[in-house]
């Protein structure tokens, strides 16, 4: 009886919610149809136009005529503009001076925080903490919306297995499953239900496969089988769509020989028809114009191609603005296609509530009170500490004592302007906490922090010139390499322990920053060797936007803490971890290669017909190299702690399962060290026999648990046939009965395993 009442209530609620949603849709349709009924063709095309206001650009800004165009109703949205007053002023032009008073969208690359900057996304992903990741997006949305922004070009969820590509810094690493969880968390954090004035539209990008460019070169050709797209690269984009993401950005690369921006199969068949996406598609910066260089025709032809493929909004290039009218008169496109795109743009504005209140995001009080607040910075500091990955800690060099003398040496030690990392356009770079400032803050009065720069970031003037193109300075010290090193060695001689702050400058990674050599720059490596030669314990605090090749460092440096670029509070967060106030718990989400020749390298590879025997690193006529093992230097999922964890054997609820049963797999995990700590427990599954070849393991679950020193805990995962599904050669998503290996472990290399049989 009670159950029946309960079911009726649930049903009633569901019916009411569905009915309310239907009513809301009907109201929106009515409003948009009425508005479109008044619009001229030019005004409709105007809604599809997204110029850059030019404050921070990644290409050539092509339009200086924005104000006039806004008045004419020829601008649908604007980006690269910062500051609530400026935004309010131009919105006022749109809603007071244009004929139909249609408000504009204001976009920005709010990628990892706004003014309060969080770690670069690759770092954030290493926290494996979905709550923290969602919260970082939430705070970014609060700050951005307080400053006039109502649309962010994030999350970037491109899977990549090639650290030569500079934009791995902006993504979540190599894994489709983890990438999908992060995509969901970020969309939720940015958008929520869009009702309040501190949620904004999200834009998942870059659709699709942008991280798979050949040779790790940015914007390069992608050629991939469909089965691989669906199984290994699409899941994060699809997860964002399932989470209700409002917009999708087309990528620069081609897919199946057709640039994504003009690819109807991708933007309409997959995105809208298969996945049910109802939001709008925007191009990337001049994505339409670039199809001319791809060799797809002149501006008129490629603009028509993009519209017909499913693009709604044209970023920067004005191909739509300049050519769609002509194409329509020549019957190369239809008015229905223009209407569909215009309708989607108006719907997005309606959902944001801009027709009710175009200044919903333009509150000067909010701008004064909600940006870069102490509360946000505190969370940024805690989150940053979670993103760091301890790669080595021989003889427990770390944590450091809060006493004695510490020599802090290296070009990234006192480099506040590099802490935020790449793609942080809203950040005030110099406000970030440098490592030197953070160490002093956290160390306490009993510790003496000595400092010397030791070397410049690079001795290579070409690299330096290219990394500073957007006005970021590398703070070059004009002294000679020898003079800098000499000073550093003198400082080191007076200390008990050396902390070497080295690695990449922020702009060595990011857009248009592919590298063919992934070593720490030579001048820094030379200094590191000299510091090690002092015989003092050395801790390498590694700043980087991508996996580097650290084979030499792993052999010779006693402790390595990888800190990526930690954002506004980087220096304090690093100090928290170095001194052990926070025990590191980050785990890599991208394999670190031993050398560049191993790339692409990733844990979820196929077995091949000639796999190596277990434990071997070379066998003749097997799939391997003669000069390096197949193993990465640090595998996916790897990261140490100041404590240690032991894993018991896997206990299964059954070893033979049928149909929709649920398998429970458990392990007992014990904190066997002397510090409290957190561990990311990882579940992998291998499908041993399939109608298509399957990876040697795939992540299917994870839990981040806290364990006090000496404590143990049983961690359980539930596995259902949903976790066994994959796209087969007909691109059907299903599971196949047979044998499966269930693995649970601390990283992709060190796992316990058990076998099950699963029948239909
Ligand atoms: C990047 C996008 C970015 C856009 C707008 C492009 O160069 O590829 O990720 O959102 O610029 O700034």
What does the pLDDT look like over 82-99, one tens digit per residue?
A: 999 999 999 999 999 999
> Which atom, in ligand 1's list, is nearest to the CA of 80?
12
Question: Cα–Cα distance between 237 and 48 in angstroms, integer?
Answer: 23
Across the chain, mean pLDDT equals 95
CB of 205 closer than 6 angstroms to any ligand 1 atom: yes
Q: In the β-sheet with 404-409, what is the strand arrangement from edge to edge?
A: 389-393, 559-562, 538-543, 497-503, 404-409, 447-452
pLDDT at 265: 98
Q: Where are the domains of the chain?
A: 374-578, 643-759
pLDDT at 17: 67
What does the pLDDT average to over 347-351?
98
Question: Cα–Cα distance between 482 and 477 in angstroms, integer?
Answer: 12
> Which atom, in ligand 1's list, is nearest to the CA of 56?
12
Q: How far is CA 529 from its chain centroid?
A: 33
Select the CATH number that applies to the domain covering 643-759 from these four: 2.60.40.10, 2.170.120.12, 3.50.50.60, 3.40.640.10.
2.60.40.10
pLDDT at 10: 54
CB of 147 closer than 6 angstroms to any ligand 1 atom: no
CB of 151 closer than 6 angstroms to any ligand 1 atom: no
Q: State in Å: Cα 733 to ligand 1 middle.
A: 32
Burial class of residue 526 in the structure, from the number of CB atoms within 10 Å of its CB (0-12 exposed, 13-18 middle, 19+ buried): middle
Give Rg (Cα) of the chain: 27
What angle (nearest 5°) sits at the alpha carbon of residue 512, between those of residues 252 and 130? Answer: 75
Residue 60 has pLDDT above 90, yes or no: no
* Predicted confidence (pLDDT) per residue in 242-257, tens digit: 999 999 999 999 999 9
pLDDT at 15: 60
Question: Cα–Cα distance between 505 and 544 in angstroms, integer?
Answer: 7
- 3 state DSSP class of 666: strand
Which residues are registered as beta bridge partners of 562?
Answer: 389, 542
**Where does the pLDDT of residue 462 fall: very low under 50, low under 70, confident under 90, or very high at 90 and above?**
confident
pLDDT at 6: 58
Q: State in Å: Cα 564 to ligand 1 middle.
A: 21
pLDDT at 140: 98
Q: DSSP assignment of 609-663, as one string? A: SSPPPTT-S--TTSSS-SSS-SS-SB-TT--B-SS-EEE---EES-SEEETT--E
Contact 515, 466 (CB under 8 A): no
With the most atoms of ligand 1 within 8 angstroms of its CB, the residue from 55, 58, 252 to mutate is 58
Which residues are registered as beta bridge partners of 652?
Answer: 665
Q: State in Å: Cα 109 to ligand 1 middle.
A: 7
Token couple for 168: 């791995």
Longest Cα–Cα distance of the chain, Å, equals 85
> Which atom, in ligand 1's list, is nearest to the CA of 203?
10
Q: Which fold has domain 374-578?
A: Rossmann fold (3.40.50)
| DSSP classification of residue 568 | T
Active-site residue flag, 284:
yes
CB of 109 closer than 6 angstroms to any ligand 1 atom: yes
Give the active site residue among 109, 284, 312, 723.
Answer: 284
Least confident of 208-217, 471-480, 724-733, 741-750: 471-480
Task: Give how far Cα 110 sits from Cα of 114, 470, 502, Å.
Answer: 6, 17, 27
pLDDT at 740: 98
Could you tell me if residue 478 is left (phi over 0), alpha (psi between -120 and 50 degrees) or otherwise beta? Answer: alpha
| DSSP classification of residue 503 | E
Token couple for 496: 């008990």
Q: State in Å: Cα 284 to ligand 1 middle.
A: 6
Burial class of residue 338 in the structure, from the number of CB atoms within 10 Å of its CB (0-12 exposed, 13-18 middle, 19+ buried): buried
What does the pLDDT average to over 597-626?
96
CB of 284 closer than 6 angstroms to any ligand 1 atom: yes
> 720, 629, 711, 618: which is closest to 670 by C-alpha?
711
Question: Cα–Cα distance between 400 and 37 in angstroms, integer?
Answer: 69
Question: Cα–Cα distance between 741 and 684 in angstroms, integer?
Answer: 8
> 186, 177, 282: which is closest to 236 by C-alpha?
177
| DSSP H helices in 416-563 | 435-443, 461-467, 481-493, 522-533, 551-556
Residue 601 has pLDDT above 70, yes or no: yes
Rounded to 5, what percent of the chain is helix, strand, coil? 35, 20, 45
CB of 158 closer than 6 angstroms to any ligand 1 atom: no
Handedness of CA 305, 309, 315, 318 (dihedral sign): positive
Length of the chain: 760
Question: Cα–Cα distance between 262 and 302 in angstroms, integer?
Answer: 7
pLDDT at 473: 75
* Predicted confidence (pLDDT) per residue in 515-556, tens digit: 999 999 999 999 999 999 999 999 999 999 999 999 999 999
Q: State in Å: Cα 98 to ligand 1 middle.
A: 28
CB of 285 closer than 6 angstroms to any ligand 1 atom: yes
Q: Measured in Å, how far apart are the chain's first and last C-alpha atoms? A: 35
Q: State in Å: Cα 145 to ligand 1 middle.
A: 19
pLDDT at 460: 87
Residue 164 has pLDDT above 70, yes or no: yes
């Amino acid at each position: 009886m009670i159950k029946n009442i309960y079911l009726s209530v649930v049903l009633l609620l569901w019916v009411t919610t569905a009915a309310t949603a239907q009513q809301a849709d009907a109201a929106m349709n009515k409003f948009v149809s009425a508005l479109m009924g008044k619009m001229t063709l030019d005004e409709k095309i105007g809604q599809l136009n997204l110029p850059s206001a030019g404050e921070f650009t990644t290409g050539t800004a092509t339009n200086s005529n924005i104000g006039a165009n806004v008045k004419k109703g020829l601008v649908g949205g604007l980006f690269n503009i910062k500051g609530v007053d400026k935004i309010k002023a131009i919105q006022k032009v749109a809603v007071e001076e244009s004929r139909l008073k249609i408000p504009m969208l204001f976009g920005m690359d709010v990628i990892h925080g706004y003014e309060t900057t969080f770690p670069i996304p690759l770092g954030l992903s290493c926290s494996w903490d979905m709550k923290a990741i969602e919260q970082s997006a939430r705070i970014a949305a609060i700050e951005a919306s307080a400053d006039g922004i109502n649309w962010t070009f994030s999350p970037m969820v491109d899977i990549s297995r090639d650290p030569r590509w500079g934009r791995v810094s902006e993504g979540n690493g190599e894994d489709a499953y983890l990438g999908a969880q992060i995509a969901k968390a970020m969309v939720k954090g940015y958008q929520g239900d869009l009702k309040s004035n501190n949620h904004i539209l999200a834009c998942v990008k870059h659709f699709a496969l942008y991280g798979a460019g050949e040779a790790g070169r940015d914007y390069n050709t992608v050629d991939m089988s469909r089965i691989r797209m669906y199984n290994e690269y699409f899941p994060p984009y699809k997860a964002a769509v399932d989470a209700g993401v409002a917009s999708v950005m087309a990528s620069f690369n081609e897919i199946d020989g057709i640039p994504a921006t003009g690819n109807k199969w991708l933007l309409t068949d997959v995105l809208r028809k298969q996945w049910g996406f109802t939001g709008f598609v925007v191009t990337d910066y001049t994505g339409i114009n670039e199809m001319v260089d791809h060799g797809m025709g002149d501006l008129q032809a490629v603009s028509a191609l993009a519209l017909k493929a499913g693009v709604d909004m044209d970023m920067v290039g004005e191909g739509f603005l300049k050519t769609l009218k002509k194409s329509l008169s020549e019957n190369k496109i239809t008015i229905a296609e223009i209407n569909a795109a215009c309708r989607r743009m108006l719907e997005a504005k309606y959902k944001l509530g801009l027709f009710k209140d175009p200044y919903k995001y333009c509150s000067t009080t909010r701008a004064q009170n909600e940006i870069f607040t102490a509360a946000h910075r505190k969370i940024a500091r805690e989150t940053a500490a979670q993103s760091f990955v301890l790669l080595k800690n021989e003889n427990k060099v770390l944590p450091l004592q809060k006493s004695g003398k510490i020599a802090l040496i290296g070009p990234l030690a006192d480099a506040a302007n590099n802490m935020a990392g790449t793609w942080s356009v809203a950040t005030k770079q110099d406000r970030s906490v440098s490592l030197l400032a953070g160490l002093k803050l956290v160390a306490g009065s009993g510790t003496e922090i000595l400092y010397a720069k030791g070397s410049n970031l690079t001795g290579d003037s070409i690299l330096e010139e290219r990394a500073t193109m957007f006005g970021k300075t590398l703070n070059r010290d004009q002294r000679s390499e020898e003079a800098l090193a000499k000073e550093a060695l003198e400082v080191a001689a007076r200390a008990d322990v050396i902390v070497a702050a080295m690695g990449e400058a922020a702009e060595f990674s990011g857009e248009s920053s592919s590298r063919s050599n992934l070593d720490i720059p030579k001048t820094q490596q030379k200094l590191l060797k000299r510091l090690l030669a002092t015989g003092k314990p050395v801790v390498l605090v590694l700043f980087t936007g991508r996996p580097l090749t650290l084979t030499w460092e792993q052999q010779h440096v006693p402790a390595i803490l990888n800190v990526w670029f930690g954002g506004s509070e980087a220096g304090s967060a690093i100090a928290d971890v170095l001194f052990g106030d926070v025990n590191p718990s980050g785990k890599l989400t991208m394999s670190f290669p031993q050398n560049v020749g191993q790339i692409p390298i990733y844990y979820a590879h196929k077995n091949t017909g000639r796999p190596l025997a277990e434990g071997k690193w070379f066998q003749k006529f097997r799939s391997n190299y003669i000069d390096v093992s197949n193993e990465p230097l640090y595998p996916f999922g790897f990261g140490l702690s100041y404590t240690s964890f032991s894993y018991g054997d896997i206990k299964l609820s059954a070893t033979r399962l049928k149909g929709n049963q649920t398998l429970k797999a458990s392990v007992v995990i014990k904190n066997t060290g002397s510090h409290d700590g957190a561990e990311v427990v990882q579940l992998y599954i291998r499908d041993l026999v399939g109608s298509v070849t399957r990876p040697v393991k795939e992540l299917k679950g994870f839990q981040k648990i806290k364990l006090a020193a000496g404590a143990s805990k049983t961690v359980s995962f539930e596995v259902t046939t949903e976790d066994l599904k994959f796209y087969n050669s007909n691109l059907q998503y299903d599971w196949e009965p047979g044998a499966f290996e269930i693995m649970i472990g601390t990283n992709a290399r060190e796992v316990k395993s058990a076998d099950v049989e699963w029948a239909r």
